[in-house]
Structure 1
Amino acid sequence: MHRSTPAPTTDTRSTSSRRNTWYLAPLVATLLVIAGCSAGESSQSAAGSDGAATVETTGDVETDTAGDTDDEATAIEAATTENQESHFDEADLEYDDSAVVTIALDGTTATADSGDVSVDGSTVTISAAGTYSLSGSLADGQVVVDVADTDDVILILDGVEITNADGAAIAVMEADSAVVMLADGTTNQLTDGATYSFPDADTDEPNATLYSAADLTIAGTGELVVEANYNDGITSKDGLVIESGTISVVAADDGIRGKDYLIVEGGTITVDAAGDGFKADNEEDAERGYVLVADGVIGITAGDDGIQAATDVEVTGGQLTIDAGTVSGTGRAVQGDVLVTIGGGVIDATSVDDAIHSNNEVVIDGGTIVLASGDDGIHGDLAVTINGGTITVTDSFEGIESEVITVNDGIIDITSNDDGLNVASAEASTTTEAGDQGLGRGGAPGGAPGDEAVGDYYININGGTIAITVTGALAEQGDGIDANGHIVMTGGVVAVSGPTDTRNSALDYSGGSFSMSGGLLIGTNVDGRNSEGVGTGSSQASLYLTSGSTIGAGTVVQIETTDGESLVTFAPENDYSVIVFSSPDLVAGESYDVYLGGSVDGDSATGLYDEVAVAGELAGTVTATV
């Protein structure tokens, strides 16, 4: 290895982020470097073999974003506080064993030891508040609850099999609340027919195999199997809470629906629905129409959306596996029209359309999230804010898309066919059929300069670790980070293995700006008409290097001080000829050695490593300038 002496030249391309260009030629055909502005006092530690990374700063470089996070937390708390309070209370599950009314189903009719139960052929009607235990079977019948709207009813399913060829198997027509208790060690099966016979032409209810016009709670340690051949599996026209139980639903339309809200507190739930898996669809009241998953093991296969809420979707815990859009071809895994917030739990979602989508805002505070999407991994029309959690987008058209994206913390790994992070006008987003290329938010396909409509759209990176890989059949369309507006980075770690097509780059903010005052950024792409570095308005120095030929994917980049202190070690997943680098450790006016080749040990989710195992060759020495 040897050091070359740089000779000045001129870069004829007009870009606000390129200045002070130099030729170097030890290993590759040519390396060019451009430096940004001076850096504040700082110390930095890059990601190691496990892909984690931290950036510590002092002096003028600030990465503390607690204020922003607190503001978001306050906003979420306000939104969720406004939601209608759950009807459920643990006391709802308590009853007096001595007062339980026994109902025995015997195939074609039933018997009961109370005058509050009437039997008309195979129709069993409960007409008073109380606790009722059902066992046995009805081959073609129905259990009806029709009590005063101030009365509460508990139905204990103690090994029942109820089939109704032309209506709901269990129908709560009127009550204040109803509890379906699944007796320990029992399997209970409810089945309806493919067509319903309604009382008159003015009604289409009950319209689910297990139907309630009142607040409904499902609890217990037993099993419930629901087959819905006509419409929905389980429906409440008020609120629906699943406290526990092993529940399996196969539905011709929606699987489990609570009109005002659907709350899952626990249990093991499997849904296979031709429509939506979980749903809350009250669009008229702002405090209703929400879905909350607090716990449970949940598997959803949905023809349309996996979870669909007219207002908010909240996930605070549980384990969710979702496969959405299997019938409609447009389904989303999680759809909250007003807000999607994820504070914990494990989500593994596959969808034809966006994996996580809100017509307004998405906020992620925690959890482990793995997404594979035919469109966006995460989409919020107006805002996406990430305050924590581990997010892996294994496949997407665009990884995260909104008008404003803010990352305060968390570990984010994005694989995208188009842009990894993209901000632009929500109105510019174009819906396409599955598999179509589409225009997306940025304008014409290919991202040619001048096509983007630049506006008040921001990518704010204040912390966390972000790895972006642009790859796949449509990789020539995408940028690693695409802002049809502005990028502001104050902290965190960002590593981009950018596109190999010359129309796109690791960074694209044509007509906008990129202001960097903290954090570590390294990005690569194959050079072309749209390649950009860090903006000249930054207070942290940066390097922009480009070679005269393509360097193979996996070729390690190591940048060191002339004293041998490593600043970054990066193994891009794609071919490249451009390297963009900025770190709090770069100081304007000082020189840095760039090595290419060699090898690294271990695996890294980000492509960043603590150090090289075998050193590469010195490709040149470059100077950071203001």
Structure 2
Amino acid sequence: MLIVRRSVSSTTLKTSVAALALALSLAGCGTGTPNAGSTTTTQDPATAGATAEAPAADDATAETASDTTDATAVVAADAITEDTHYDADDLTWDAAEEIPVTLADGASSATGDGVTVDGDTVTITAAGTYRLSGSLTDGQVVVAAGEEDVVRVILDGVELASSTGSPFVVTSANEALVYLEEGSTNTLTDADSYADTGTDAPNAALYSTADLTIAGSGALTVNGNANNGIVSKDGLVLAAGDVTVEAVDDGIEGKDYVALLGGTYDVTAGGDGVKSTNADEDGRGWFTVYGGQLVVSSGDDGVKAATILTVDAGTVNVTESVEGMEAQHIAVNGGTVGVTSSDDGVNAAGGSSGTTGGGGGMGGGGMEVGDYTVSVTGGTLTINSEGDGLDSNGDASITGGTVVVNGPTGDGNGALDVNGELTVDGGTVAAAGSAGMAVTPGSSSTQSGVQLTFASSVPAGTAVQIASADGTVVGSFVTTKDTASLIFSSASITDGETYTVYTGGTTTATEGITEGTLDGADELGTVTAGEYTQSQGPGGR
């Protein structure tokens, strides 16, 4: 019987757990921003902003703005251009060719060709660059250009609202680019209900049937009072900007793809946060974060793709969701990803199913293994879930980076839930949660680890430390929830070696993977690296 006292400070966390009998069965063997510059005569785009996670584009494919850059943005311009409609040249134009458009209730005006004004409806009918300023309390801006036309709309202090539907609609163009002028604040607000609710009618405050790009360093607030915030029925590139979206239903939606290159996008949505939707065409329906910062609070899924969801760099923070990240295939290659969910945190699901069976790491009672994957090769992925933490209806692999799962406290779900095989060949993994459905790294993994199963839950805020035979701490983790099971794998764990497990001691952080010492720690027992006990439970998929 262990009797413990606990005290916490900002730099030291000492915890002990009363009456902790440890049934420690072992863990496993092998398992800027495109950032336009000032609008003098031309716009100078930045298509690369270097970070540690990924290389910046070379000089042949990108230019870097001399005034400001987004430190979170990493854009390989050649790859973006090949995979999307985006072209850095679209962010370069001659200011002398801009067509000024002034919005005013009952008195809107334009100087130049390509614009018509009918009451409080302003329609752009030709390719070109249009600088909008002013406000309409009940009006609409429509882009109805030719199918080969590229239309650039500069928002330079625009307040635009509609009482009958969407205030900004692109009905036809080859590409529409909404550019947010540096230092400007702009707002788009739609009606509480739309007069036209037909199948092909606009359903968002910013709505486009053509490829859509949002760029520039200004600010934009989008209020989707009836349905969605921003919708493109083609491709969508979020190149830059300080953009806030609040929507009754979905926040931001692209059909063929969504590419986040830079800027800050803060989305609050009653439905899904940000998603791509095209599951019917090969090579479509993907969502890639190349850089920038995305913050999502959603009533349903946080970030979602019909096919492939990828984070290469930047920051993704899902602060509230039902399922945090969902796609058929999910890859975290860099950047920083944080997910909070009331159900599954990271969920590879949807698409087509495959065969049943699989190698080691099979969980959930031998569920069907489909064509779904989760892959982590770099960056940091932190999950706080009430359902399964990292969940794949197929296989999952971790070869680098850091993965932290603060999973469910109930036994109906697990911190890790992989229908096929979970392989761990690198990186650092700490997956904490309930013990009723514990999935562990599979037999083909090349990096070992330890599996800790506690006879009674370790309280939130407890430091769990793993030490080698000579007393060296090789792993420290501070729980954020009551925890009954912990899988810990890192390069510091040697397969077949015996390790002693402690609670308490001193740590440098108060949650997650950290560094620590055994000063004041309580010994619980020993484990042998590479010995896993797989739990078969009912966990939902």
TM-score of the superposed pair, with normalisation by structure 1: 0.59
* Aligned amino acid, residue 422 of structure 1: V
* Aligned amino acid, residue 398 of structure 1: G
CA distance 1:103–1:609, change in 2 (3 Å): closer
| 1:384-403 correspondence runs (5 A) | 384-396=396-408, 397-402=413-418, 403=420
Q: 1:413 and 2:411 equivalent?
A: no
1:247 maps to: 243
Aligned to 1:132, which of 130, 140, 152? 130
Deviation of 1:493 (Å): 3.0
Aligned to 2:298, which of 293, 302, 307? 302
Q: Name the SS of the counterpart of 1:376 in structure 2.
A: coil
Deviation of 1:115 (Å): 3.5
Please tell me whether the aligned partners of residues 495 and 608 of structure 1 are also in contact (alpha carbons under 8 angstroms): no
CA distance 1:333–1:84, change in 2 (3 Å): farther
Please tell me whether the aligned partners of residues 133 and 155 of structure 1 are also in contact (alpha carbons under 8 angstroms): yes
Q: Name the SS of the counterpart of 2:389 in structure 1.
A: strand
C-alpha deviations, 1:473-525, integer Å up to 9, x for none?
xxxxxxxxxxxxxx456543325243439xxxxxxxxxxxxxxxxxxxxxxx9
Bigger mean CA offset, 389-398 vs 212-221: 389-398
CA distance 1:82–1:362, change in 2 (3 Å): farther
2:72 maps to: none
Aligned to 2:332, which of 315, 337, 342? 342
Deviation of 1:555 (Å): 11
Please tell me whether the aligned partners of residues 208 and 233 of structure 2 are also in contact (alpha carbons under 8 angstroms): yes
CA distance 1:388–1:134, change in 2 (3 Å): same
Distance in 2 of aligned mates of 1:177 and 1:307? 24
1:88 maps to: 86
CA distance 1:219–1:356, change in 2 (3 Å): same
* Aligned amino acid, residue 417 of structure 2: E
Distance in 2 of aligned mates of 1:353 and 1:603? 30
| 1:415-434 correspondence runs (5 A) | 415-419=432-436, 421-422=438-439
Q: 1:333 and 2:350 equivalent?
A: no
TM-score of the superposed pair, with normalisation by structure 2: 0.68
Q: Name the SS of the counterpart of 1:500 in structure 2.
A: strand
Q: Name the SS of the counterpart of 2:83 in structure 1.
A: coil
Distance in 1 of aligned mates of 2:177 and 2:483? 60
Please tell me whether the aligned partners of residues 508 and 514 of structure 2 are also in contact (alpha carbons under 8 angstroms): no
Aligned to 1:493, which of 443, 446, 449? 449
Distance in 1 of aligned mates of 2:389 and 2:30? 29
Q: Name the SS of the counterpart of 1:422 in structure 2.
A: coil
Q: Name the SS of the counterpart of 2:93 in structure 1.
A: coil
CA distance 1:314–1:597, change in 2 (3 Å): closer
Q: 1:266 and 2:262 equivalent?
A: yes
Distance in 2 of aligned mates of 1:489 and 1:273? 39
Please tell me whether the aligned partners of residues 228 and 247 of structure 2 are also in contact (alpha carbons under 8 angstroms): yes
Q: Name the SS of the counterpart of 1:148 in structure 2.
A: coil
CA distance 1:253–1:113, change in 2 (3 Å): same
1:469 maps to: none
C-alpha deviations, 1:52-86, integer Å up to 9, x for none?
xxx9xxxxx989xxxxxxxxxxxxxxxxx999811
CA distance 1:176–1:496, change in 2 (3 Å): same
Please tell me whether the aligned partners of residues 569 and 611 of structure 1 are also in contact (alpha carbons under 8 angstroms): no
Identity rate, percent: 34
Distance in 1 of aligned mates of 2:396 and 2:217? 38
Aligned to 1:197, which of 179, 195, 201? 195
| 1:25-424 correspondence runs (5 A) | 85-198=83-196, 203-325=199-321, 331-336=322-327, 338-359=328-349, 360-396=372-408, 397-402=413-418, 403-419=420-436, 421-422=438-439
* Aligned amino acid, residue 95 of structure 1: W
Distance in 2 of aligned mates of 1:274 and 1:496? 39
Count of residues in correspondence between the two structures:
416
Distance in 2 of aligned mates of 1:557 and 1:270? 39
CA distance 1:196–1:612, change in 2 (3 Å): closer
Distance in 2 of aligned mates of 1:149 and 1:377? 45
CA distance 1:616–1:291, change in 2 (3 Å): closer
Deviation of 1:395 (Å): 3.4
Distance in 1 of aligned mates of 2:24 and 2:180? 69
2:357 maps to: none
1:67 maps to: none
C-alpha deviations, 1:140-196, integer Å up to 9, x for none?
100001111001100000101010111111111000001000011110110010111
Please tell me whether the aligned partners of residues 245 and 268 of structure 1 are also in contact (alpha carbons under 8 angstroms): yes
Distance in 2 of aligned mates of 1:153 and 1:278? 24
C-alpha RMSD over aligned residues: 4.0
CA distance 1:559–1:150, change in 2 (3 Å): closer
C-alpha deviations, 1:205-243, integer Å up to 9, x for none?
111111111000000011001101111111111000011
Which runs of 5 or more structure 2 residues have no equivalent in the other structure?
A: 1-20, 32-78, 350-371, 485-492, 527-541
Q: Name the SS of the counterpart of 2:146 in structure 1.
A: coil
Please tell me whether the aligned partners of residues 155 and 179 of structure 1 are also in contact (alpha carbons under 8 angstroms): yes
Please tell me whether the aligned partners of residues 114 and 124 of structure 2 are also in contact (alpha carbons under 8 angstroms): yes
Please tell me whether the aligned partners of residues 568 and 608 of structure 1 are also in contact (alpha carbons under 8 angstroms): no
Q: Name the SS of the counterpart of 1:92 in structure 2.
A: helix
2:65 maps to: none
* Aligned amino acid, residue 408 of structure 1: D
CA distance 1:143–1:497, change in 2 (3 Å): same
C-alpha deviations, 1:101-148, integer Å up to 9, x for none?
111111234111123211111011111111101100011100001111
Please tell me whether the aligned partners of residues 318 and 340 of structure 2 are also in contact (alpha carbons under 8 angstroms): yes
| 1:595-606 correspondence runs (5 A) | 602=507
Which runs of 5 or more structure 1 residues have no equivalent in the other structure?
A: 1-29, 37-54, 56-60, 64-80, 326-330, 424-458, 461-486, 502-524, 526-552, 577-581, 587-591, 621-626
* Aligned amino acid, residue 122 of structure 2: V
Deviation of 1:575 (Å): 11
Distance in 2 of aligned mates of 1:124 and 1:306? 35
